[in-house]
Amino acid sequence: MAEGRQKAQVYKTVLNEHLKKFGAVYAFLLLIIINAISNENFLAINTMWNLLIQAFPIIITSLGMLFVISSGGIDVSVGSVMAVAGGMNAVIMNGIYPAFPRSIFLGIVMALVVSLMFGFFNGFMISVFNMQPIIVTLTTYIIARGLTQLIANGKILSFSNTPFNAVGVLRLPGNVPIQFIIEILFVLITAFVIKRMVFGYQVQAIGENPQAAKLCGIQTTKVQIMVYMISSFIAAIAGLLVSSRTSAADPTNLGALAEMDAIAAVAIGGTSMSGGKSRILTTVISAMIIQLITITINMNNIHYAYARIMKGLIIIIAVYIQQDKKR
Amino acid sequence: MDNNLLLEMKQIDKHFTGVHALDQVDFAVRKGEIHALMGENGAGKSTLVKVLTGLYGKDSGQIIFDGEERSFPTPQDSQNAGISTIYQEINLIPHLSVAENIFIGREPKNVFGIDWKAVRSQARQLLLDNGIDIDVTQDLATYSTAIQQMVAITRAISQNAKLLIMDEPTSSLAEDEIQVMFEKMRELVAKGMSIIFISHKLDEVYTICDRATILKDGKLVGSYDIDKISRLEMVSKMIGRDASNVLKRSVGEYEAKEGTAALLHTKDIDNRVKLHGISIDIRPGEIVGVAGLLGAGKTEFAKVVFGCDNTYTGEIEVEGKPIRMNTPKGAIDLGFAYCSEDRKVEGIFPHMSVKENMTITALSRISKFGVVDTRKQKEIVDKYIDSIRIKTPSPDQLICNLSGGNQQKVLLGRWLSMDPKLIILDEPTRGIDVGAKAEIEALIKQFSENGISVLYISSELEELIRNCYRVVVIRDGMNSGELTGEDITEANIMNYIAKNMKETEEAHG
C-alpha cells in the first residue's frame, strides 16, 4: 500500500511539473476547441489572422514586460506609453504644432524618443534612487496619459490618406498580416537576447538575487534602465501600430489597461512575479489566451464584462499552478 | 530503555526527483539527551529534520513521538505536538519587535484583540529568565545575531517544546556566546527536554552531546555514545574513508614571501562605522588570514577592498598604483574575486543552473558583441565541475538542489574562471561538512601555488593556522597584531585578541 501511495505521489509531482510547463498550451488548445465547436467559421485562416492582429499589442508588450518582471520589477506605464507614442506621432503627422514639420518620419522618431525618455525615467528612478517599481511606473502611467491628453487637446486625433494608414492594415503575400511578421520578429529577438546574450543572463540574475548580481560585477543600474527602456520602446511600437490600424490616436482609450494584459500574460506564462527565469514561449501563448477569451466572449454574444471576470479567474488559477509547491 | 525514547523514526524513505534522499533511515532520540545528527552535506540530515517537522512529506516509514505514532502534515502540526526548530538562518521576522517575534501566532488576547501589554511583559519576563535584558519593543533586526539566536531559543522554550531541533545554531556566534548557549542547553535537558543538535563542529559535538547518529548518502551509518567513539572514527564514518590525513596540520609548508612587492597594499582603512584604521598587505601567491571576533570588522574590510563600500578613507594600492575602490565591477576588472560569507544572500542565484551560476561573471569575457559563446561557456563549466569535483547530475541542474559544499565549489569555480590575482574568501567553509572542507582547503593551497593571493577570513582559528602563511588579527576595526610561520598558533592569536581587549578596558576604565 505504501508503494501505491508512493506511486501516486510520483504521478502527482510529474503531473504538477507537466502542468507548470504546458498548462498554458492546454488552456490555449481548450479555448481553440471550444471556439471551433461553437463557431464553424472559427478555424478559418482569416479568423487566425484576426486573432494575431488583435493580440498584437498584448503579445509584444508582454515581451517587454517579460524583461521587466524577470529583472524583479514591474511596469504599469505600458498602456500610457502606447498612448503617448500614438498621440505624439499623430499630432506631428497632422501638423498641429508649427514648430515641427509635417512628417511621418519625424512623427515616428519623436514617438519613440518620448517613449524611451519615459522608460529611462522609470529605470533611473528605480535603480539609482531605489524607488519601488510599481510607484515609479504608476506615476509615469499618470503623467504619460496626461501628456497625451494635453498634446491632443483632449480630442481624438484621426488621420487618413497617409502612407502611415497603410502600415497597420498591410497584408503580405498570402494575406499574411504585417502584425504577424512583427510578432515573429520580436519573439525571435527576445528569445535570442534572453537565451544567448550576456544582457539576458544579467536581467535574470538581477531578478533572482540583486545583491549577488552586484557582487558578480553586473552593473545593475545600467541593466535596469535598459530593461525599462525596452519595455517602453516596445509599448511605443504597439501604440503606433494600433493607431495606424485604427487611423486614429484616442488619448483616453489607446492602450488603456494594456499593462494589465501584459502583466497577466507574463504571470500565466509562468515567470515568477518576484523575478528570475524568463519564460518566452508560454508568455506568448498566454498573451493569445487573453485575446482568445475576449474573442470567445464576443463571438458568443456574451457581455464583455464577462471577459474580464474570466481573465481574472484564469490568472489566479495559472499563478496557483505555477507556484512552487515544495512542501 | 525503549520506553525512555521520546522520538523514534523507523524506516524513513524519501525521494526527490532523481535523488534517493533518505533510504530506510532509523533514528531515535531518548528523553533528556542531546543527540548530535552528523553527516556530510547531502547526507540527508536536513531532509530527515524536515520530514520530522512536517516541511516535507515522507514516502514511507513511521514516526513515533512521545509514545504515539504520529504524522505531521504541516510544520504547525509538529509544533503543536511539541517539536521546535531553530534554523541556521534564524527564522524570525527582522522588522517585528522582539516581543512580537516571541509571541507571533499565539499572542495573549483580551477583549480588544491582542493584549499588547501582556505580550511585552511576558516576552520581557521570558527573556529575563534566560538571562537577557533587552528592550523588547525594538525591532529584532536592531540586535546582534547572538541576541536574535537567544530570542529564537526563548520562543522555542516558551512553546513548551519537548524536542528542540538546533540546526547549526552556533555558526554565527562568538565563543563566549556559544558557552552561554551550551549552558542553556544543559539546563533545558536537565528539565527533561531532548535536543537534536546539528553541527559541523566536532569540538561542539564532543562538548555538549550525549549520543550521535551519523548519516551518509541518505543512509544510516549508525548511532553511537559520544564517549565511546573517537573523533577520528567519527570523521571517517562521516566521509567514509580514512580521515587521518584529512585533518593533518601542515605547519612545515609555510613559506615566507618576504621581499616580493605587495599585490595589494592597504593603509588606515576607515569607514567611521566598523573600521577605524586597518592596514593589510598581501603579496602575490600569499595566503593571508584575517582573525578577529564577530563584529571586529573582518567582513567590512573585505567589502571595502572589493568596492562594495566606497565611503572609506585610507590608501589602497594595487601593484604599486594608488586606486580608489568604487564598485565590485572595478574590483573584478583589477583581478579581484570575493566569496561572501553569506552564500544564500550574496552568492548563489538559487533557481538558475549550475552552468549559469558558474559563468555569470565570466560572460562578458566569453562573448562577442554581447552574444555568449556557448561552446566556451560549456568548456568552463566542464573544466571546473571536473577539476574541483563538483557533484551535480548535470550542468543544467538548479544550484539550489546542490548541497552547501557543492554550491560553494560552484562559486569558487565562478571566480577561478576569471583568472583572479586575489581571492577574498569570507568564511569559505561555513556550513560545509568535514570532507568538503578538506577539499576546499586543498583548493585554496592550490590557488596559492598557482600564484593567486588569498585573503582568508575565518572565525575558525584552526583553519587559519592550517592554511595561512601570515595571520593578521584585528580587533574593533583596528590591527591588533600579525603572526607568521611557526608563530601562528591558537594561543598567540587569542593573545592578540585578548591583550587588546585588556588595553581597551583599561583605557575605558
How confident is residue A181, by pLDDT bands cut at 50, 70 and 90? very high
Read off the pLDDT of each residue in B313-333 and give the average, rounded to a whole number.
93
Chain B touched by A198 (CB under 8 Å): yes
Q: pLDDT, tens digit, for every residue of B143-186? A: 877 788 788 888 887 877 899 999 888 766 777 778 888 888 89
DSSP B261: P
Q: Is residue A76 domain-resident?
A: yes
Q: How many domains does chain B have?
A: 3
Question: Touching check for A322 and chain B: CB below 8 Å?
Answer: no
In whole angstroms, give the CA distance from residue B30 to residue B213: 12
Interface confidence, given as ipTM, is 0.87
Same domain, B397 and B425: no
Burial B289-317 (b: 16+ CB within 10 A, else e): bbbbbeebbbbbbbbbbbbbbeebeeebe
Whether B7 and B70 map to the same domain: the answer is yes
**Nearest 10 degrees: Cα torsion A73, A76, A79, A80:** -110
Whether chain B has a CB inside 8 Å of the CB on A323: the answer is: no
For chain B, how many helices (H) and strands (E)? Answer: 17, 25
Residue A295: C-alpha distances to residues A32, A36, A45, A60, B401 (Å)? 11, 12, 15, 18, 43
Using the predicted structure, report yes or no on whether residue B256 has a pLDDT greater than 80.
Answer: no
B contacts of A215 (beta carbons < 8 Å): 306, 308, 328, 338, 340, 346-347
Report the range of poorest mean pLDDT among A86-90, B79-83, B91-95.
B91-95
Quick one: closest CA in B to A207, which residue? Answer: B349
Asked whether the predicted pLDDT for residue A166 surpasses 50, the reply is yes
pLDDT of residue A327 exceeding 50: no
Q: Does A9 touch chain B (CB under 8 A)?
A: yes
B489 shares its domain with B469:
yes
Do the beta carbons of residue A96 and residue A88 sit within 8 Å?
no
Measured CA to CA, the distance from residue A72 to residue A87 in angstroms comes to 30
Contact by Cβ (8 Å): B427, B458: yes
The verdict on B125 and B27 lying in the same domain is yes
Q: Is residue B502 over pLDDT 50? A: no
Burial zone of A100 (CB within 10 Å; 0-12 exposed, 13-18 middle, 19+ buried): middle
Say if CB A177 and CB A52 are below 8 A apart: yes
In a domain, A83, yes or no: yes
Residue A192 lies in a domain: yes
pLDDT the model gives residue B170: 76
Cα separations (Å) of B231 from B40, B62, B361, B460?
A: 15, 31, 40, 18
Q: Is the pLDDT of residue B90 over 70?
A: no
Q: Which of B239, B263, B287 is the last residue of a domain?
A: B239
Burial class (CB in 10 A: 0-12, 13-18, 19+), B118: middle
Three-state DSSP class for residue A39: coil
- pLDDT at residue B244 in the model: 42
How many independent structural domains does chain A possess? 1
Cβ pair A209:B348 closer than 8 A: yes
Distance of CA A167 to the CA centre of its chain: 20
CATH number of residue B220's parent domain: 3.40.50.300
* pLDDT for res B405: 85
Among B239, B269, B302, identify where a domain stops: B239
CA distance B421 to B264: 10
The CA-based angle B226-B229-B234, given to 5 degrees, is 100
Task: Please report which confidence band the pLDDT of residue A15 belongs to, taking 50, 70 and 90 as the band edges.
Answer: confident
Distance CA A310, CA B309 (A): 50
pLDDT at B322 over 90: yes
pLDDT at position B245 is 42
User: Does any domain span residue B369?
Assistant: yes
More confident residue, A209 or A303: A209
Contact B328 A214 (CB under 8 A): yes
What SS3 state is found at B80? helix
A1 lies within 8 A of chain B by CB: no
Are B60 and A2 an interchain contact pair (Cβ–Cβ within 8 Å)?
Answer: yes
Average pLDDT over residues B44-65: 89
- The residues pairing with B13 across neighbouring beta strands, listed in sequence order, are B60
Q: Which three cell numbers stand for residue A63?
A: 515581451
A8 shares contact with chain B (CB less than 8 Å):
no
What average pLDDT score do residues B475-486 get?
A: 84
CA distance B120 to A160: 72
- Residues B320, B194 share a domain: no
Q: Do B348 and A202 touch (CB under 8 A)?
A: no
Pairing of strands B194-198, B163-167: parallel
Q: What is the pLDDT of residue B246?
A: 40
Q: State residue B243's pLDDT score.
A: 42
Q: Of B15, B17, B338, which is closest to A215 when you measure between CB atoms?
A: B338
pLDDT of residue A325: 46
Residues of B in contact with A209 (CB under 8 A): 345-346, 348-350
CB pair distance less than 8 Å for A218 and B356: no
Any bridge partners for residue B483, and if so which? Answer: B471
Is A85 domain-assigned? yes
Between residues B494 and B358, which one has the greater pLDDT? Answer: B358
Q: Are residues B395 and B309 in the same domain?
A: no
What pLDDT, on the 0 to 100 scale, is given for residue A44?
A: 85
Closest CB from A196, A211, A215 relative to B371: A196
Distance from CA of A32 to the nearest CA of B (A): 33
d(CA A169, CA A246): 9
Convert the pLDDT of each residue in B450-470 to its tens digit.
Answer: 889 999 998 778 888 888 889
Which domain, by its residues, includes B384? 350-408
- Cα dihedral: A133, A135, A136, A140 (round 10): 120
DSSP class per residue in B379-413: HHHHHHHHHTT---S-TTSBGGGS-HHHHHHHHHH
Q: Is residue B342 part of a domain?
A: no
Does residue B28 sit within a domain? yes
* B96 in any annotated domain: yes
Q: Write down the pLDDT at residue B1.
A: 45
Q: Which band of pLDDT confidence, cut at 50, 70 and 90, is reported for residue B248? A: very low
Does pLDDT of A20 surpass 90? no
| Interface test mutation site (partner B, options A215, A220, A223, A271, max chain B beta carbons within 10 A) | A215
Return all residues near A132 (Cβ < 8 A) that are at least 6 apart: A126
Domain boundary among the residues B208, B239, B270 is at B239
pLDDT level of residue A157 (50, 70, 90 thresholds):
very high
Distance CA A122, CA A125 (A): 6
Query: Mean pLDDT over all residues of chain B?
Result: 85
Q: Which residues contact B335 (CB under 8 A, 6 or more apart)?
A: B418, B419, B420, B421, B422
Measured between CA atoms, how close is A25 to chain B, in angstroms?
A: 23
For the beta carbon of residue A220, count every other beta carbon within 10 angstroms: 19
Residue B109 in any domain: the answer is yes
Question: Is A27 among the domain residues?
Answer: no
Is residue B378 over pLDDT 60? yes
Domain residue limits at A136: 57-278
- B351 and A215 in contact by Cβ < 8 A? no
Q: Is residue B244 part of a domain?
A: no
Q: Residue B465: inside a domain, yes or no?
A: yes
pLDDT at B257: 57
Distance in Å, alpha carbon of A192 to nearest chain B alpha carbon = 9
Cβ proximity of B284 and B469 under 8 Å: no
**Closest among B399, B457, B459 to A212, alpha carbons compared:** B399
Per-residue pLDDT, averaged over A111-135, amounts to 97
Alpha carbon A297 to its chain centroid, in Å, reads 21
- Chain B: closest CA distance from residue A135 (Å): 22
Q: How confident is the model at residue B19 (pLDDT cuts 50, 70, 90)?
A: confident
B340: in domain: no
What integer pLDDT is reported at residue B20 of this predicted model?
82
- State pLDDT tens for residues B93-122: 888 888 888 888 778 888 888 888 888 888
* Segment A223-266, tens digit of pLDDT: 999 999 999 999 999 999 999 999 999 999 999 989 999 999 99
Pairwise CA distance, residues A293 & A28, whole Å: 10
Q: Quick one: which of A45, A73, A104 has its CA closest to A229? A: A73
